[in-house]
Structure 1
Amino acid sequence: MADQEEKVIILTGASRGIGLAAAHTLLSSSHKLVVISRTHAALDQLHYQYPSQVEVLAGDLSNASLRLNEKAVELALSRWGRLDALIVNHGTLEPVRRIAEVDLGEWERGFRSNVGSAVGLIQAAIPSLRKSHGRIIITSSGASQTGYVGWGCYGATKAVLNHLALTLTAEEPLIATISIRPGVVDTEMQREIREVHAEAMSESDREKFAGLKRDGGLLRAEQPGGVIARLAVRGEVGGLKGKFLSWNDASLGEWQEE
């Protein structure tokens, strides 16, 4: 994948935060995007700003009956004739509830939103990514490695996605799959952690996340978002296949902010 060549990427979770930052990084370098959001309006500004580079699909990826997975790939191929990368960046923190108190149906919905929808989209993209020797970049979380009170479902789904990168690396040698920990970023999810879900968390965790906001310790979305975007389209990533890496890991120096 030559650095200067324009690429075609499917990007989920592009309406805000890390996904929106990744979208702007890619679009400013003339790449083409199929972006997926629950509502079309959330991504209209991207479409207006880059009309020849952006196609928008609206709907809930966890609703298999909408066929958004197949439609996204079909749209990329019909519009630009290829697919070079898939960035899996969507997900939900909910349910934020202790294991002893959670309803099993809430976990099932969480897994459908964070895992099932990701696997379905990856499955649809694999044939095209084989042809382009493409890439799959997964936005994971430090919660996949650390236990937080109330975050069992979220952390478990992210751990599954980390393992999915390993499995895809074994099964799909023509595709480079990498899982990225973006760190604690100043996003809407962080606001929800502080303002909506705080009561379901431990006191120490509440203070940790409140303190990061209060003391200016949150990352800008452009920092991990830029790394994720550049990993999708630039450089040789063979040695990184299957790995779960922090966005600022030394091995990602080539893709970090210039």
Structure 2
Amino acid sequence: MSDEQTLPPQHQDQQPGQETEMRPQPLTIGEYYQAAGKLDGMTAIVTGADSGIGRAVAVHYAREGANVAVLYLNEVEDAERTRLEVQAAGGEALLFAGDAADGEFCRRVIEAVIEKWGRVDVLVNNAGEQHPQQRLEDISEEQWEQTFRTNIFAMFQLTKAVLPHLRPGASIINTSSVTAYKGNPTLLDYSSTKGAITSFTRSLALNLAKRAIRVNAVAPGPIWTPLIPSTFDAEKVSHFGAETPLGHPGQPADVAPAYVYLASADSAYVSGQVLHVNGGIVVNG
């Protein structure tokens, strides 16, 4: 590869993408990560957990002592791999395939999790999709609505379903994006949803403060997940992350520890905040 090329050129024709088809495979957990039982006995729900950041969060949580409900759309092979990795890390996993923007699906998930483990301590709203277009006029109403449905409506539905079961000390963590802060000329609808997620996070944190439920977000920069080859053409993928100060894309393993921090007692005095894991991009947000 050239100095500016960060990845082998590749493309997948369908979203959600498949992690099993990616080369190189994303790194789920870092070689030097040291678990410390920060989530012992907890139960977490993670959306978009079949691959990418969601899988890495699920595996890190299992390493820290949590059981994990893995929500995904239809990526069965990837989701089964997440189950195996969670189990290998010492946790139990429940898999749920469906649309998190469907309120009835969310209610069924919560009922099953409560029946299995009797509690929910952490909700990670992570599922997302993006579809680049060169001009605003090229974005159809259907695309605009679908992106909002997946990226922010699902957060509303699942959070609403789980709230009656969250106790003081529980944590909600939403996945925002660097695009919410610096924009993106070809991801207008996606960036808009990420801005909404940041505002939702801050407002919900204020709303739930008296119930001692913390709400925070993580805003990743360019991270090597199935969303990338299923979104961009092979040429753009080959230079993915090169524009960051660190000069390369991050791995899911680089992001997941931020979710561990926000789920654990280490962040007991942190709410309404956004952690930026983006390769050195300064956004002052």
- The answer, yes or no, to whether TM exceeds 0.5 is yes
Deviation at 1:146, TM superposition (A): 1.7
Q: Write out the 4+ residue segments of structure 1 that deviate beyond 4 Å after TM superposition.
A: none
| Aligned equivalent of 1:58 | 97
Which residue in 2 is equivalent to 1:253?
A: none
Q: 2:262 is matched with which residue?
A: 231
Change (3 A) 1:219 1:98: same
Q: How does 1:140-159 map to 2 (within 5 A)?
A: 140-159=176-195
What percentage of aligned pairs have identical amino acids? 22
SS in structure 2 opposite 1:119? helix
Task: Give the alignment's Cα RMSD to 1 decimal.
Answer: 2.8
* Cα shift at 1:90: 0.5
State the distance in 1 between where 2:63 and 2:84 align: 14
How many pairs align?
Answer: 237
> CA offsets per residue over residues 158-216 of structure 1, 9 Å max, x none?
00010011111121112110011122111222223442795xxxxxxx89637359x96
- Aligned pair 1:99/2:136, yes or no? yes
Q: Could you tell me whether the CA contact under 8 Å between 2:107 and 2:161 is conserved in 1? A: yes
Compared with structure 1, are the counterparts of its residues 73 and 99 closer, same or farther at alpha carbon in structure 2 (3 Å cutoff)? same
Residues 200-258 of structure 1 show CA distances to partners (whole Å, capped at 9, x for unaligned) of xxxxxx89637359x961112101122213422341332x2111221379xxxxxxxxx
Q: 1:100 to 1:76 in 2, by over 3 A?
A: same
Out of 201, 205, 219, the position equivalent to 1:165 is 201
Once residues 210 and 4 of structure 1 are traced to their aligned partners in structure 2, the CA distance between those partners, rounded to angstroms, is 32
**One-letter code aligned to 2:105:** L
Q: What is the identity, as a one-letter code, of the residue corresponding to 2:276?
A: S
CA shift in 2, pair 1:42/1:68, >3 Å: farther
Q: Where does residue 16 of structure 2 map in the other structure? A: none
> 2:283: which partner in 1?
none
- Aligned with 1:45 (options 81, 85, 94): 81
Distance 1:147 1:248 in 2: 14
Q: What is the TM-score of this pair, normalised by structure 2?
A: 0.74
Tell me the TM-score normalised to structure 1 length. 0.82
CA distance in 2, matches of 1:79, 1:45: 21
SS in 2 for 1:245: strand
Gapped regions of structure 1 (runs ≥ 5): 199-205, 250-258
Q: Distance in 2 between matches of 1:197 and 1:81?
A: 48
Q: How far, CA to CA, are the matches of 2:143 and 2:127 in structure 1?
A: 17
Q: Where does residue 227 of structure 2 map in the other structure?
A: 189
Q: Do the aligned partners of residues 41 and 234 (structure 1) sit closer, same or farther apart at CA in structure 2, a change above 3 Å counting?
A: farther
Q: How does 1:1-258 map to 2 (within 5 A)?
A: 3=38, 5-39=40-74, 40-49=76-85, 50=87, 53-64=92-103, 67-94=104-131, 96-129=133-166, 131-173=167-209, 174-195=212-233, 209=240, 211=242, 217-238=248-269, 240-247=270-277
* d(CA) in 1 for partners of 2:235, 2:111: 38
Q: Structure 2 counterpart of 1:31, which letter? A: A
Q: 1:104 to 1:175 in 2, by over 3 A?
A: same
